[in-house]
Amino acid sequence: MTRVEASPGVCGFTTTITAEQNSDGLVVVKLESDCDRIQAYAEGLAPIDPIAALYAPDGGQSCACPDCHRVCLVPVAVLKAVEAEAGLALKRDGGYRFVE
């Protein structure tokens, strides 16, 4: 099981992502968040094929959140959790920050 905490920023809605690969190789993702849009996104997430989601020509758009802010970090963090859970990435922190 892989757990990731995503803190998108100014909205203040931290999301906890839990990803677990099943016997079919698909990754089941569960999200815990106070954000209504992320909760709706979580309800619509089907088990994810890691190879298809990460390497498909659509660039992972099957995991996109259509109602989220365009630059919300949660959908990208979901892909990162799926990638790590499938053994396709190391479990290392990432992120961004503004520098002056």
The overall pTM is greater than 0.75: yes
Question: Mean pLDDT for the chain?
Answer: 91
Cβ atoms of 50 and 27 within 8 Å: the answer is yes
* H-helix segments, 1-100: 36-44, 50-55, 74-85
Pick the more confident residue, 49 or 61: 49
Structural domains of the chain sorted by starting position, each given as residue range(s) with its CATH number in brackets:
2-85 (3.90.1010)
Q: Is 57 exposed, middle or buried (0-12, 13-18, 19+ CB in 10 A)?
A: exposed
Per residue in 56-73, pLDDT tens? 777 667 778 888 888 899
> pLDDT tens-digit profile of 8-37?
888 999 999 999 999 999 999 999 999 999
Query: How far is Cα 79 from Cα 19, in angstroms, rounded to an integer?
Result: 10
**Smallest Cα–Cα separation from 4: which of 71, 59, 85, 64?**
85
pLDDT at position 37, please? 94
